[in-house]
Amino acid sequence: MKMIVVFSALVAVCLAAPQNQADRDAVVLRYENDNIGIDGYNFAYETSNGISQQEDGKLQNAGTDNESLSVRGSYSFTGADGVVYTVTYVADENGFQPVGDHLPKASK
């Protein structure tokens, strides 16, 4: 039984490892971060393997019963098929709302 647990853990570690050299050797090319307190925050980064993200967050209706955080952003990455995938999103009192050409569309 102990051997099965050890083998399963080893397989999980191998599968979680980056699958190509570009991911293993990736470095951060750009990183910006601005925490402006109660007025919100924003950050952005880009890595050498083509991953990037940017996000802005703002507190809405501060000090009221309807206070909420509103976040807008996007991220991009290159898939195993060589295609660059981009997701833009809004996260607010209505939940996380991602949009991307590769994502399924909700039917009405």
Contact 77/63 with Cβ under 8 angstroms?
A: no
In this prediction, residue 1 carries a pLDDT of 47
pLDDT tens-digit map of 42-60:
999 999 999 999 999 998 8
Measure the CA–CA gap between 81 and 61, rounded to whole angstroms: 43
Residues of the chain with pLDDT under 50: 1, 3, 6, 14-15
- Give me the pLDDT at residue 22, please: 67
Query: pLDDT value at position 107?
Result: 75
Q: What is the pLDDT of residue 8?
A: 53
